[in-house]
Amino acid sequence: MDTRTSPVTQRLAELRLALARTGCQALLVPSADPHLSEYLPERWQARQWLSGFTGSVATLVVTERSAVLFADSRYWTQAEAELAGSGIELVRVPTAAPSYVIEWLTQHLSSGHKLAVDTHVLGLAFAQALLKALTAQGIALVHDQSALESIWPDRPGLPTAPVVALDAPWVDRTRTDKLGELRAAMKKTGATHHLISTVDDLAWTLNLRGSDVDYNPVFIGHLLVDTQQAQLFMAEGKVDAALNAQLAAEGVHLRPYEQATVVLAALPAGSTVLLDPKRVTYGVRNSLPQAVRVVEAINPSTQAKSRKSAADAAHVRDAMERDGAALCEFYAEFEAALAAGEAWTELTVDERMTAARARQPGFKGLSFATIAGWQANGALPHYRATPESHAALGTNGLLLIDSGGQYLAGTTDITRVWALGEVTAEQKADYTRVLRGTIALSRTCFPRGTLGPMLDAIARAPLWEAGLDYGHGTGHGVGYYLGVHEGPQNISKGLPDPSMAMEPGMITSIEPGLYRPGQWGVRIENLVLNVPLPTAENGAFGEMLAFETLTLCPIDTRPIERSLLQAHEIDWLNRYHATVRERLLPRVSGAAKDWLLRRTEAI
């Protein structure tokens, strides 16, 4: 990168001049929008626009003399390459926790300095911790977008994609039912109003879907619910007349997007507003009048949507069969092409796998950008091949493929690693230890209400015993035709809180991994459903839960080091493959059927 003419260095130089005019000494740019979304509409991709770093999560700080990007271990290699020559320093942090950013700011800013930020994209929980630390050092936190706005004249506007209803049979509760349940939950907290800003909660509550962001069928908006009505704030023209009338008849009234904070600011004295501090921004909180009481608690919809109904679970099982059939078709084509000597790249894998899914009824799109990583690229947990940077598949090594689909019947997410040609003894050992971690957690039974992070060590134990580990979480919640990542539950090293309790109906990923930078990576991922486990003690020790494995696709047995597997692990793998074969055989034929039979043979 030519540091004299690159867009990044020029933008940073212009930004510093603009900051000086505002009287601020630094600008904080999180990877967030006013809804704290995982995938951001272009309008709120300021961090990427300023830094050139394309990873999904990072925080940028620009001061008068320096610029730093905070990224966790999933992105270190990628960030190092993309920031080269930009003048931006990469600060490697072990996790995405905001404490590292806060500590840096308090060490590099001085008393009397001002830190500018768009508070409408600053999470409330983060802002509260940040404000406390800055105030103690005499540093002011100010809402000021003017510096960024002045150098970004062609900033994109709000998304305009249409919003549509999701009706039966894909939902088994009406929006009226869900709003009624929501108001009952509000009443328990004493709230007269409740604001929902997270787009997946919004879509789930109203049985609506959109396409304002990549991969998730959601739309940008806020929902303010009181005891009598609900106000939906979003860009105008996204809902047709028929749906608008239907919503109005059910007490949901459309309002312009920019009116959300105006309406909040006008709430009458004596109102009590329920807000989720992890799911609203500081700017939203600040728009409320002083005379309004605020109750901070998790969104009731976040917990409700995490617990899939029996009807939801039945649909998801169907989606898994469709997804599994598509993967059988793809892998049959893939192995035949390699055997014929065809030259494939990581991009070919992405293209052909997407095409196979697209042939399935009810397919709506990918649930995230496909990760197809050959050898060293597989060691980058969030790698994505691009036309400018990708690898050709070789003849000997490991290919990691992490992919997923959005279907009307559910959301899928699966990772498999395939041995091409000969693999080394070390690769086999790594692969088998990761597989043992997947099996260990998949077999686990646990008391209902167990906090998700308490299960994390079970998947890591087979790696820890060899002195190995991985830097990402073991599992994340998955939505029902919604986000491929959702809460409140997760399985990770993070500190647990009560909202992470594992309850029946939750869908979570199990995906331990192992990454050797510059060599190869291994990750084996299935989605699982929390189901009640009948116990011989008839519940004397409380209700127990187990995991039902939902994902249906063979696990490659060729790179297994048999000496590392115990008898119960082999039994689990064989029983899993028998289930995959039984469930998918009615949905495949020809080469796909032959491939399925071959890859599900018992070991």
Query: Within a domain: residue 16?
Result: yes
My answer on whether 368 and 501 are in the same domain is yes
Kindly tell me if the per-residue pLDDT of 6 is higher than 90.
Answer: no
Confidence of residue 95 (pLDDT cuts 50, 70, 90): confident
Which of 269, 300, 331 is a domain's end point? 300
Residue type at 400 in one-letter notation = L
Query: Within a domain: residue 391?
Result: yes
Q: Are 492 and 460 in contact (CB under 8 A)?
A: no
Task: Of 321, 348, 219, 319, give the one whose Cα is nearest residue 588.
Answer: 321
Q: Tell me: the pLDDT tens digits for 386-428?
A: 898 899 999 999 999 999 999 999 999 999 999 999 999 999 9
Helices and strands, number each (H, E), in the chain: 18, 28
Query: Within a domain: residue 1?
Result: no
Q: So what's the pLDDT on residue 136?
A: 96
Confidence of residue 3 (pLDDT cuts 50, 70, 90): very low
My answer on whether 401 and 524 are in the same domain is yes
Kindly tell me if the per-residue pLDDT of 547 is higher than 60.
Answer: yes
When pLDDT is averaged across residues 101-115 and rounded to a whole number, the result is 95
My answer on whether 288 and 322 are in the same domain is no
CATH code for the domain in which residue 132 is found: 3.40.350.10
Cβ neighbours of residue 44 closer than 8 Å, sequence gap 6 or more: 32, 33, 34, 121
As a whole-number percent, the residues of the chain with pLDDT over 90 amount to 90
Kindly tell me if the per-residue pLDDT of 469 is higher than 60.
Answer: yes
Q: How far is the C-alpha of 301 from the C-alpha of 283, rounded, in Å?
A: 22
Q: In what order do the strands lie in the sheet with 89-92?
A: 89-92, 67-71, 59-63, 26-29, 114-117, 140-143
My answer on whether 370 and 325 are in the same domain is yes
Kindly tell me if the per-residue pLDDT of 182 is higher than 50.
Answer: yes
When pLDDT is averaged across residues 297-302 and rounded to a whole number, the result is 96
CATH code for the domain in which residue 340 is found: 3.90.230.10
Q: So what's the pLDDT on residue 75?
A: 83
- Classify strands 397-403 and 371-374 as parallel, antiparallel or unpaired: antiparallel
Q: How wide is the angle at C-alpha 434 spanned by C-alphas 514 and 547, nearest 5°?
A: 125
Query: Within a domain: residue 157?
Result: no
Q: So what's the pLDDT on residue 539?
A: 67
Which of 151, 179, 209 is a domain's end point? 151
Number of domains in the chain: 3
Confidence of residue 78 (pLDDT cuts 50, 70, 90): confident
Q: So what's the pLDDT on residue 538?
A: 61
My answer on whether 320 and 355 are in the same domain is yes
When pLDDT is averaged across residues 223-232 and rounded to a whole number, the result is 97
Residue 47 tokens, joined:
């961090």
Query: Within a domain: residue 322?
Result: yes
Q: So what's the pLDDT on residue 2?
A: 46
Query: Within a domain: residue 105?
Result: yes
Query: Within a domain: residue 158?
Result: no
Q: How far is the C-alpha of 20 from the C-alpha of 13, rounded, in Å?
A: 11
My answer on whether 98 and 211 are in the same domain is no
Q: How far is the C-alpha of 282 from the C-alpha of 280, rounded, in Å?
A: 7
Provide the 3-class DSSP secondary structure of residue 101: helix
- Range 476-508 burial, b when 16+ CB lie within 10 A, else e: bbbbbbbbbbbbbbbbbeeebeebbbbeebbbb
My answer on whether 286 and 341 are in the same domain is no
When pLDDT is averaged across residues 126-139 and rounded to a whole number, the result is 95
My answer on whether 134 and 229 are in the same domain is no
Confidence of residue 540 (pLDDT cuts 50, 70, 90): confident
- Domain limits for position 38: 7-151
My answer on whether 130 and 271 are in the same domain is no
Q: Tell me: the pLDDT tens digits for 509-538?
A: 999 999 999 999 999 999 999 999 877 566
Q: How far is the C-alpha of 526 from the C-alpha of 562, rounded, in Å?
A: 21
Q: So what's the pLDDT on residue 542?
A: 84
Query: Within a domain: residue 2?
Result: no
Q: What is the pTM of this model?
A: 0.92
My answer on whether 200 and 312 are in the same domain is no
Which of 252, 272, 300 is a domain's end point? 300
My answer on whether 122 and 177 are in the same domain is no
Cβ neighbours of residue 45 closer than 8 Å, sequence gap 6 or more: none
Q: In what order do the strands lie in the sheet with 272-275?
A: 252-256, 230-234, 222-226, 193-196, 272-275, 293-296
Q: So what's the pLDDT on residue 1?
A: 45
My answer on whether 392 and 485 are in the same domain is yes
As a whole-number percent, the residues of the chain with pLDDT over 70 amount to 98
